[in-house]
Amino acid sequence: MPASRRDALTALATLAAAGALPSLAWSARLKPGKDAVLIVVDVQNCFVTGGTLPVKNGEQVVPVVNKLAKVFDNVVVTQDWHTAGHVSFASAHAGKKPFETTKLNYGTQVLWPDHCVQGTADAALHKDLELPRAQLVIRKGYHQGTDSYSAFLEADRKTQTGLSGYLKSRGIKDCFVCGLATDFCVAWTALDARKAGFQAAVIEDACRGIDLQGSLAKAWADMKKAGVRRVQSSDLLG
């Protein structure tokens, strides 16, 4: 290659690295492979406007998730699926209010409003979610005394949901996580995907957070440290 062209390319690379060019001008679009899965976390009525534990603008993830699902060969959906009177509900603890914490045998538990009770309309998937090719719905948080933010491991950090075995036996290597809420079920799922030996990415604009006392910034910091990639839907959709 002539020196002038090489210089021009070097200059372009420097600009791109400095963030002076839109990243798509330089980096190729991410194409999920046959060994990648989109994990759509808890896009349920309880977590959107009008639900029992609404995440601000939670419903805005729906059209983004629908588009993303079209570019993945593998799609798995999760549902928060609590018993009535579940241990994660403030109402199950005398004198406690939602968003306070309590100590349980497995550690500190944030207490939530009653939400996502099994079989209720509140626990149903959002009606505009279009995931006809989803292969598995994994429900979690159904043990009365144990919460489960993560789609892989319950809050006792021991009880498996079965998702890791399912994905491994299907040859899946890379988990792209989206949905609700960024700083709870999405982050815990992405972190546990890494612990289970998968690659993991969170698709930021296909998520919305709750952000209790800095939990959103902490979740992103923890994920960065664990090697979870932070990507945008435009990286995948082009």
Active site residues: 42, 140, 185
Q: What residue 42 binds from Zn ion, ligand VGL, none (CB within 5 to 8 A, per partner kind)? A: ligand VGL
Per-position x/- string for 11-40, each x denoting binding to ligand VGL as judged by CB under 6 A, each - no binding? ------------------------------
Per partner kind, with CB cut-offs from 5 to 8 A, the member of ligand VGL, Zn ion, none near residue 43 is none
The token pair that represents 164 in the structure block: 């890791």
181 binds ligand VGL (CB under 6 A): yes
207 binds, among Zn ion, ligand VGL, none (CB under 5 to 8 A by kind): none
Cross-strand partners of 230: 202
Alpha-carbon distance 144 to 84, whole Å? 8
Q: Residue 42, interface with ligand VGL (CB under 6 A)? A: yes
Question: With binding defined as CB under 6 A, does residue 223 bind ligand VGL?
Answer: no
Residue 185 found at the interface with ligand VGL (CB under 6 A): yes
- Asked whether the beta carbons of 173 and 35 are under 8 A apart, the reply is yes
Give me the half-sphere count of Cα atoms (radius 13 Å) on the Cβ side of residue 142: 12
Kind of pairing, strands 101-104 and 107-110? antiparallel
99 vs 166, which CB is nearer to ligand VGL?
A: 99
Minimal distance, residue 115 CB to Zn ion, in Å: 6
Q: Which of residues 134-153 bind ligand VGL (CB under 6 A)?
A: 149
Under rule CB under 5 A, residue 80 binds Zn ion: yes
DSSP-derived 3-state class of residue 161 = coil
174-180 and 199-208 beta bridge pairing: parallel
Q: How many CB atoms lie within 10 A of CB 132?
A: 7
